[in-house]
Amino acid sequence: MKVFFDHQTFSIQKFGGISRYNVELISGVNKGINDTAYLPILLSDNVYLNKLNQYNVNLLPKNNFYKKAQIVYKINKLYSVAHLVKKGFDLFHPTYYDPYFLPYLKGKPFVLTIHDMIHERFVEQFPELDNKNSAIEKKQVLAEKADRIITVSNSTKLDVVNMLGVKPEKVHVIYSAGSFNPVWTTTKGRFVEEPYLLFVGRRERYKNFEGLLNAIRHILEKYKIKLVCAGGGEFTAQENKIIDSFRLSQLVNQISINDKLLSILYNQAIAFIFPSLYEGFGIPVLEAFASDCPCIVSNQSSLPEVGGDAVVYINPFSRESIVDAVEKIICSSQLRQDLIEKGRVQLAKFSWDKTVKETVDLYRTLL
């Protein structure tokens, strides 16, 4: 069986959960004896492609140039089309929602992974998608035409069925997994001297960063702890304005990260806090488990599927719920240790080997 993965997410993302997911699938399929996965691509600065060292990808220069993103996308798209025309594959797996490939399949099956329904659930927060050529419209087209759909949680499956009108039997839940190596956490000394809570990744919109700040600002002052924000880019002017208005400029920091540093930050934190209003899966929870970090996690969408009984849940819409959970974690070393041990058990339920096997089994039903 030969599976064709296309360029899309690798033309768009330098790093991120979707491109990591696809790299893990490609790598895992290629470990099989009778199966091959390939990714025709010419230009990308995606950091995970190093794992696919059988590919000769010309990495882009670090400096930006005029219309760089558009040029890269068009070149890779043409290269994908050239390989589609050759028809040297058994099954197609697009890595995002551009339906450009549909005229070229000529009867070949394709499987679509829908990682979340964030745009549809929070459409009022994404006004740029209010047109017929948006990701929402493209996703709808592909969901209707796909031979099978994979979702990474039962929560996302329910959203796909209810919001896209897809028959439930067409949608298969195959959980993602984490990619952290626990060895990374073994380091001497502390990266951040003060005790801290850890917030990871993007902070805008549904991530509920402002709601978190409003809830815990007095806790940070009371217990003399920091909130460290790992990744997600530097604070925007608006975020700095909010932080200053809460008088937290000395207690809230942003740090640029790589995977190894992030694992250390998880490991040395009092707890990881994830107050998101919606997630398609929740890989940061598994990253925290792998790094022996206690977790305070939103009770919304897919997160209870990932967290199981190994986290303290919060209602992200309730300031009181957030305050209560954070104080419990801060004040009880026994609770933190219990959560670490439960996290190790919960983590074992998710693996890329399992994800790849279930995905390959689904592919075979179409051939």
pLDDT by position in tens, the chain (length 367): 999 999 999 999 888 889 999 999 999 999 988 999 999 998 888 888 888 865 555 555 566 777 888 988 999 999 999 999 999 999 999 999 999 999 999 999 999 999 999 888 887 766 654 555 588 899 999 999 999 999 999 999 999 999 999 999 999 999 999 988 765 556 667 888 999 999 999 998 899 999 999 999 999 999 999 999 999 999 999 999 999 999 999 999 999 988 889 999 999 999 999 999 999 999 999 999 999 999 999 999 999 999 999 999 999 999 999 999 999 999 999 999 999 999 999 999 999 999 999 999 999 999 9
Question: Domain 182-347 is in which class?
Answer: alpha beta
Looking at residue 92, its pLDDT comes to 98
pTM passes above 0.85: yes
Q: Spell 289-321 as b/e; 16+ CB within 10 A means b.
A: bbbbbbbbbbebbbbbbbbeebbbbbebeeeeb
| 3-class secondary structure, 10 | helix
φ, ψ dihedrals at 171, nearest 5°: -105, 125
φ, ψ dihedrals at 233, nearest 5°: 80, 165
Question: For the chain, what percentages of helix, strand and coil (3-state, to nearest 5) are there?
Answer: 50, 15, 40
Q: Which residue has the tokens 């047109």?
A: 131
Looking at residue 332, its pLDDT comes to 97
φ, ψ dihedrals at 319, nearest 5°: -60, -40
* CB 286, CB 177: distance < 8 Å: yes
Looking at residue 185, its pLDDT comes to 57
Looking at residue 213, its pLDDT comes to 96
φ, ψ dihedrals at 226, nearest 5°: -105, 160
Looking at residue 46, its pLDDT comes to 86
Q: Which residue has the tokens 């806090």?
A: 273
CA–CA dist 366, 148 (Å, integer): 9
Give the chain's length.
Answer: 367
Q: Which helix (H) or strand (E) holds 14?
A: none
* CB 52, CB 22: distance < 8 Å: no
CATH 3.40.50.2000 domain locations along the chain:
2-177+351-364, 182-347
- Residue 90 gets which letter from DSSP? S
A 10 A CB-CB count for 146 gives 21
Architecture of domain 2-177+351-364 in this structure: 3-Layer(aba) Sandwich (3.40)
